[in-house]
Amino acid sequence: MKEDKIVYGSIDEYISSFTPEVQSILQTLRQVIKEMAPEAKEKISYQMPTFDFHGNLVHFAAFKKHIGFYPAPSGIEAFQDELKEYHKSKGTLQFPIDKPLPYDLIRRIVQYRVEQNLQKANSKSKGKKSVEN
């Protein structure tokens, strides 16, 4: 028999499913992302809080021992030197849950991703205009 998976309808619902300590971390992380990407839309994607701005911008999630932050591979590559102390893989960063998150670094990563998605959106719209002319 299959286990029932929890399905979250909103970021608020996702965050409220954790302990107060973890909720506080997630709310701060959410606020930092909103500061840097005020036009981004919030949604749940892959059962994780996601910010969408001309495509997926960043995702985040809480786990037992870490906060996962997913800024796409390009968001990690661009800040590789500053991310040496954190466990990472191609598109994933893991911040230990028992240490303060590097919010200034997260701000810069989100800003970088906003600029990337804007460039991609602008080049797509330019391509459409030249096809229409």
Question: Quick one: pLDDT at residue 123?
Answer: 85
Q: For residues 125 and 90, which has the higher predicted lDDT (pLDDT)? A: 90
Whole-prediction pTM: 0.88
Range 7-30 average pLDDT: 96
Tens of pLDDT, residues 20-66: 999 999 999 999 999 999 999 999 999 999 999 999 999 999 999 99
Question: Quick one: pLDDT at residue 23?
Answer: 98
Can you tell me the distance from the alpha carbon of 24 to that of 41, in angstroms, rounded to the nearest whole number? 21
Q: Which among 35, 74, 62 is positioned nearest to 51, based on CA atoms?
A: 35
Question: Quick one: pLDDT at residue 98?
Answer: 95
CB neighbour burial string for 17-50, b if at least 16 within 10 angstroms, e if fewer: eeeeebeebbeebbebbeebbeebeeebeeebbb
Can you tell me the distance from the alpha carbon of 89 to that of 33, in angstroms, rounded to the nearest whole number? 21
Tens of pLDDT, residues 68-116: 999 999 999 999 999 999 998 888 999 999 999 999 999 999 999 999 9
Domain 11-125 fold: Aspartate Aminotransferase, domain 1 (3.90.1150)
Can you tell me the distance from the alpha carbon of 46 to that of 128, in angstroms, rounded to the nearest whole number? 30
